[in-house]
Chain A
Amino acid sequence: MNKVECTLCPRHCKLAEGQRGDCRVRTNVGGKLFSLVYGKPCAVNTDPIEKKPLYHLLPGSSAFSIATAGCNLHCLYCQNWEISQSQPENARSTPMSPEEVVSKALANRCRTIAYTYSEPIVFYEYTYDTSKLAKDKGLLNALVTAGYIEQEPLKQLCAVTDAASVTIKGMTEDFYQKMSKGTLKPVLDCVTTMKKMGVWVEIINLVIPTWNDSDEDILALVRWIKNYCGVDTPLHFSRFWPMYQLTNLPPTPESTLNRAWDIAKKEGLRFVYMGNLPTHHGNNTLCPSCGKLAIERRGYEILQDHAPNGKCKYCNFQLAGVWK
Chain B
Amino acid sequence: MITLKTQDIVFLSIITISLLTMFALSTNNVIITQKGGSITAELTARLTASGLPLHPAQYWERTNE
Contacts and interface: CB of A to CB of B under 8 A. Distances in A.
Interface in B47-65: 47-48, 50, 52-65
A36 B39 CA distance: 14
B7 interface: no
B26 interface: no
B59 A18 contact: no
A4 B39 CA distance: 15
Give the size range of B's interface with the partner: 20 to 34
Given A33-B60, A35-B57, A3 B65 contact: yes
A47 interface: no
Given A20-B37, A22-B37, A36 B52 contact: yes
B52 A17 contact: no
Contacts, number: 112
A39 interface: yes
A40 B62 contact: no
A13 interface: yes
Nearest to B45: A18
Interface of B: 29, 31, 33-37, 39-48, 50, 52-65
Interface of A: 1, 3-8, 11, 13-22, 24, 26-27, 29, 31-40, 87-89, 124-126, 128, 150, 152-153
16 contacts: A3-B63, A4-B63, A5-B61, A6-B59, A8-B59, A14-B63, A19-B31, A21-B33, A29-B44, A31-B62, A36-B47, A40-B53, A89-B47, A89-B52, A124-B59, A152-B59
